[in-house]
């Protein structure tokens, strides 16, 4: 059996449908949607986190209680009913798991483990849960105050009070608390009678001004989110306690597989995944691992694969015309006045993150290194300042999320190479006097013996080996995806999670090579088009990507509209933000017009703050933000803008249609388990979260699909996308062995034009499904081009699911194969079954 397929008797999804659960979509509401999802062709539900989350959570990744299923969603009973109804239809259930962190909620008692640690400190039974050394210093830093502690105390805003704390010690008795507006904190036993200032200083936590967090935070958090505290899931007891309910549900057959959130934040990702694999007997597990270009998922991870970002960016890049790169670069300079490169932006952004929001994390690394060097006579001349310089440069230079080194094990060759590559870049940026120190830092983060002999296994050195890659991942996420990718506006659709925007488009051969490697090594990985974490929905990417195929027309349009609206444009409007604004209009303007002003402006303000150039989350420039909002709102109703974008939408419609349908069909048929993010079976205008978590009217989609299945011709691109999605999902379900089985094969098919890509999917019996997708804007000569279809099994022929036509194997003209569609989906069927078939949606 393939090493990355699930264990014996464990379910492999053929396709998944992501449901973003919460107040707007409870387990009961999801259960009502099952008939539609079944009809669509989905084989497995993919549920957002189901454990009890913080009050008001809109996503579920802020877990507060691992022993309960979310009350808001319907509790354990609701989940079990949903799973039973799904299983009755032959559908499986995949649950999203958040092993890296828990919420720091308000009030804190919602997280009983955290409340216990805050109250009892090292004596708490949960003291080992959180990634902080409670035996040292002043306890957990709680940076929740709106001003410095002295100011808060003087103003009387922090008071000693009493409150009934639900669930504390199994009772709800009243107990003393410190109250700061909505925040409640426990009072350490036997300190409640002290004067307030002394009482505050005697707690197992330190209440602090919120700005202190980025400089002095003493617990590991999720990236730079102080309200999400890291937990030590590498500890067997913590793993058992936080996974007991999920594993119980798995053993009971309620849950069939898992999606693992952000494993790179863990101390030992491989160890965690191995423990999970052992506990489930090899369940299907997809890990949310962000792979940089050229990076492979570690082969020793016992998982089916990733959550699909690696496929998503390639499928979009396939539809981006490289000829658009130069004219769009010219427009970029015109609007922003910059000549910078993406590499320069990435370095600048990562350096900014290291010096600001993740300063506490990098400072901790330096402190650990300084302690190690101070305690070893052979290393003590490496100063704190020199170590700090080396840590900064090494983290900034790191080209991927992390290297995988386990304390006590020799660093793998790949980890050594990755660290040394970063060190080479860091060395070029450091004064020569720092080079010896850098060598020491490299040896220490790789777990090598350096300095005095025999000290390699010391606890402090082992902790550094763990901490360094955790910080690298956080800096990568915040510096690249959450900063540089908002600043780089050459073509913003390329700036996606796990993307490679330095590649302005890829060709069919690159896609085939990626698919070949996937089929060979990770055949049951996940493929994705949109996720809850993508910067914009797949259709918004397609509309923006079409700019590249019409780059000269686009630059002319933007110049014309900038001139027409010059009197409205704020004098201090940031150029990067403006370029992002124009492309976002292109991405969200459809034949129905633009998106709502409040959605557009909320996105633009978030994007501008993520740029961290002229406004930020921590220091918003409200005056300039108001100017941006006013300008964007005015654009949506300006007559020249409306006329310009109405014409633009008409001009690029064929290119957008080709990109939307081809991207979706390829995503659903290349190697891997195909995921559909809720609602993306039709076209949409979703932007980054929370916009992409808006409720989806699944009932309306069910009605539309029923009408299409009854023979109604699709009325627009949204309905065409639904036809294509249903056709592909149903074929996957009918022929699972060709897509995810042990014998699932992928065969590129010869095509006589670079404007199309084609392949066949095989099972043990031979070719089952053939796929043809066109690409880019210029389709001249496309109809006369040919694709060579495999010879079907004797007695079978190829039937086009979309047109009903039939073909034998061999060379076929694309014009004959595609008909009025820009894509073709063919299935090999017995010739008797093929005759007279015209089913539009399979």
Under the banding of pLDDT at 50, 70 and 90, the label for residue 166 is confident
Nearest to 265 by CA among 142, 168, 361, 348: 361
- pLDDT for position 217: 78
Question: 551: part of which helix (H) or strand (E)?
Answer: helix 551-564
Residue 832 confidence (pLDDT) above 80: no
pLDDT at residue 491, as a whole number? 98
The predicted model gives 491-508 an average pLDDT of 95
Find, among 40, 35, 37, 43, the residue nearest to 13 by Cα. 43
What's the pLDDT band for 831 if we cut at 50, 70, 90? confident
Residue 137 predicted with pLDDT over 70: no
Is 810 strand, coil or helix? strand
pLDDT value at 168 more than 80? no
The answer to whether the CB of 638 falls within 8 A of the CB of 565 is yes
End-to-end CA distance of the chain: 32
> Where are the chain's structural domains?
15-100+233-307, 108-230, 326-338+538-653, 345-484, 697-834
Which pLDDT score, from 0 to 100, does residue 835 have? 44
Measured distance CA(306)–CA(66) in Å, rounded:
24
Give yes or no for residue 131 having a pLDDT over 90. no
Question: What is the arithmetic mean of pLDDT over 292-303?
Answer: 94
- Average pLDDT, integer, range 513-541: 96
The answer to whether residue 134 scores a pLDDT higher than 80 is: no
pLDDT of residue 435: 97
Q: Yes or no: say if 688 and 585 are a contact pair by the CB < 8 Å rule.
A: no
Residue 748 has pLDDT above 70, yes or no: yes
Q: Are strands 810-813 and 786-789 parallel, antiparallel or unpaired?
A: antiparallel
- pTM > 0.75: yes or no: yes
pLDDT tier, 225 (very low <50, low <70, confident <90, very high otherwise) = confident
Which CATH code is given to the segment(s) 108-230? 3.30.1590.10
Q: What is the percent of the chain where pLDDT is above 70?
A: 98
**568 has a pLDDT exceeding 90:** yes
* pLDDT on residue 839: 40
Q: What is the dihedral of CA 821, 824, 830, 833, to 10 degrees?
A: -20
pLDDT at 509 over 60: yes
What is residue 132's predicted lDDT score, i.e. its pLDDT? 83
Instruction: Please state the rounded mean pLDDT for residues 312-318.
Output: 98
The pLDDT assigned to 840 comes to 45
| pLDDT tens digits for range 396-453 | 999 999 999 999 999 999 999 999 999 999 999 999 999 999 999 999 999 999 988 8
Which top CATH class is 15-100+233-307?
Answer: alpha beta
pLDDT digits (tens, 9 = 90+) for 703-713: 999 999 999 99
Please report the DSSP string for 237-296 in residue order. Answer: HHHHHHHHHHHHHHHTTS--EEEES-GGGSS-HHHHHHHHHHHHTS-EEEE---PPTT--
Q: Output DSSP code: residue 202.
A: T
Name which residue leads in pLDDT, 213 or 538. 538
Q: What is the pLDDT of residue 133?
A: 73
- How confident is the model at residue 221, as a pLDDT? 80
* Whether residue 732 has pLDDT greater than 50: yes
Question: Which CATH architecture fits 697-834?
Answer: Sandwich (2.60)
Residue 540 parent element (H or E): helix 538-549
Can you give the pLDDT at residue 170? 55
Give the pLDDT confidence of 234-280 residue by residue, as tens digits. 999 999 999 999 999 999 999 999 999 999 999 999 999 999 999 99
Domains 108-230 and 697-834 share a fold: no
pLDDT digits (tens, 9 = 90+) for 360-375: 999 999 999 999 999 9
What was the pLDDT predicted at 820?
A: 95
**pLDDT score at 136:** 65
Mean pLDDT of 528-545: 97
* pLDDT tens per residue across span 170-208: 568 899 999 999 999 999 999 999 999 999 999 999 999
Kindly state the DSSP code that residue 746 receives in the 8-state scheme: E
- How far from the centroid of its chain's Cα atoms is residue 215's Cα? 27
Average pLDDT of 576-597?
A: 98
Read off the pLDDT of residues 610-630 as tens digits, 9 standing for 90 and up.
Answer: 999 999 999 999 999 999 999
Span 801-819, pLDDT tens digits: 999 999 999 999 999 999 9
Which among 587, 567, 565 is positioned nearest to 643, based on CA atoms?
A: 565
pLDDT at 842 over 70: no
Beta carbons of 62 and 231 less than 8 angstroms apart = no
């Amino acid at each position: 059996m393939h090493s990355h397929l699930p264990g014996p008797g464990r379910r492999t999804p053929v396709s998944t449908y992501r449901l973003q659960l919460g107040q707007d979509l409870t387990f009961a509401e999801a259960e009502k949607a099952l008939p539609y999802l079944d009809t669509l062709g989905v084989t497995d539900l993919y549920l957002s986190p189901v454990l009890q989350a913080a009050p008001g959570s809109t996503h579920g990744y802020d877990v507060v209680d691992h022993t309960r299923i979310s009350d808001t969603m319907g509790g354990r009973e609701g989940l079990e009913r949903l799973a039973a109804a799904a299983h009755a239809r032959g559908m499986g259930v995949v649950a999203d798991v958040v092993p890296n962190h828990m919420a720091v909620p308000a009030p804190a008692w919602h997280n009983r483990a955290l409340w216990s640690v805050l109250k009892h400190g090292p004596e708490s039974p949960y003291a080992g849960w959180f990634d902080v050394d409670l035996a040292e210093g002043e306890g957990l830093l709680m940076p929740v105050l709106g001003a410095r502690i002295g100011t808060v105390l003087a103003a009387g805003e922090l008071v000693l009070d009493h409150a009934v704390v639900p669930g504390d010690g199994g009772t709800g008795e009243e107990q003393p608390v410190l109250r700061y507006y909505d925040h409640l904190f426990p009072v350490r036993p036997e300190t409640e009678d002290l004067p307030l200032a002394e009482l505050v200083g005697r707690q197992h936590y330190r209440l602090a001004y919120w700005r202190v967090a980025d400089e002095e935070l003493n617990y590991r958090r999720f990236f730079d989110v102080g309200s999400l505290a890291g937990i030590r899931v590498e500890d067997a007891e913590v793993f058992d306690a936080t996974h007991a309910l999920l594993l119980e549900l798995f053993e009971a057959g309620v849950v069939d597989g898992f999606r693992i959130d952000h494993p790179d934040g863990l101390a030992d990702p491989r160890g965690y995944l191995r423990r999970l694999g052992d506990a489930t007997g090899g369940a299907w597990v997809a890990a949310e691992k962000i792979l940089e270009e050229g990076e492979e998922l570690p082969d020793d991870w016992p998982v089916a694969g990733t959550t699909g970002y690696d496929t998503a960016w390639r499928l979009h890049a396939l539809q981006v015309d490289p000829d658009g790169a130069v004219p769009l670069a010219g427009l970029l300079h015109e609007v922003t006045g910059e000549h910078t490169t993406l590499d320069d932006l990435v370095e600048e952004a990562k350096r900014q993150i290291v010096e600001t929001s993740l300063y506490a994390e990098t400072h901790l690394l330096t402190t650990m290194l300084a302690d190690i060097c101070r305690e070893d006579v052979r290393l003590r001349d490496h100063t704190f300042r020199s170590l700090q310089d080396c840590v900064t440069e090494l983290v900034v230079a790191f080209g991927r999320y992390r290297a995988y080194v386990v304390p006590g094990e020799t660093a793998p060759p790949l980890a050594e190479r990755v660290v040394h590559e970063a060190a080479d870049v860091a060395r070029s940026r450091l004064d020569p006097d720092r080079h010896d120190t850098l060598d020491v830092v490299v040896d220490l983060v790789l777990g090598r013996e350096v300095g005095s002999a025999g000290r390699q296994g010391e606890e402090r050195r082992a902790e550094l080996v763990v901490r360094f890659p955790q910080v690298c991942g956080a800096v990568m996420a915040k510096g690249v995806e959450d900063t540089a990718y908002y600043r780089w506006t050459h073509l913003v659709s390329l700036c996606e999670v796990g993307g490679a925007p330095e590649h302005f488009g890829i060709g069919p051969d690159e896609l085939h090579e990626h698919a070949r490697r996937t089929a060979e090594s990770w055949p049951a990985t996940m493929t994705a088009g949109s996720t809850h974490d993508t910067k914009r929905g797949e259709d918004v990417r397609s509309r923006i990507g079409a700019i590249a195929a019409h780059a000269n027309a686009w630059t002319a349009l933007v110049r014309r509209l900038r001139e027409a609206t010059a009197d409205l444009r704020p004098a201090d409007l940031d150029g990067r933000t403006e370029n992002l604004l124009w492309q976002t209009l292109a991405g969200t303007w459809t034949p129905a017009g633009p998106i709502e002003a409040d959605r557009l402006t909320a996105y633009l303000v978030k994007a501008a703050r993520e740029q961290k150039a002229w406004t930020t989350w921590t220091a918003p420039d409200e005056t300039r933000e108001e100017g941006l909002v006013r300008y964007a709102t005015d654009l949506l109703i300006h007559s020249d803008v409306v006329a310009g974008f109405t014409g633009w939408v008409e001009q690029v419609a064929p290119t957008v249609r080709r990109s939307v349908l081809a991207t979706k069909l390829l995503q659903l048929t290349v190697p891997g388990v195909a995921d559909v993010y809720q609602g993306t079976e039709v076209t949409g205008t979703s932007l980054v979260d929370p916009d992409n978590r808006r409720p989806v009217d699944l009932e309306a989609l069910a009605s539309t699909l029923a009408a299409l299945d009854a023979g109604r011709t699709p009325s627009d691109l949204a309905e065409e996308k639904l036809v294509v999605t249903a056709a592909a999902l149903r074929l996957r379900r009918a022929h699972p062995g060709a897509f995810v089985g042990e014998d699932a094969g992928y065969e590129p098919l010869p095509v006589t034009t670079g404007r199309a890509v084609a392949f066949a999917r095989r099972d043990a019996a031979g070719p089952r499904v053939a796929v043809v997708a066109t690409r880019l804007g210029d389709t001249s000569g496309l109809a006369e081009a040919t694709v060579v279809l495999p010879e079907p099994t004797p007695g079978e022929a190829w039937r086009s699911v979309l047109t009903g036509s039939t073909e034998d194997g061999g060379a076929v003209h694309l014009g004959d194969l595609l008909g009025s569609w820009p894509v073709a989906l063919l299935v090999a069927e017995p010739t008797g079954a093929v005759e007279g078939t015209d089913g539009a949606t399979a």
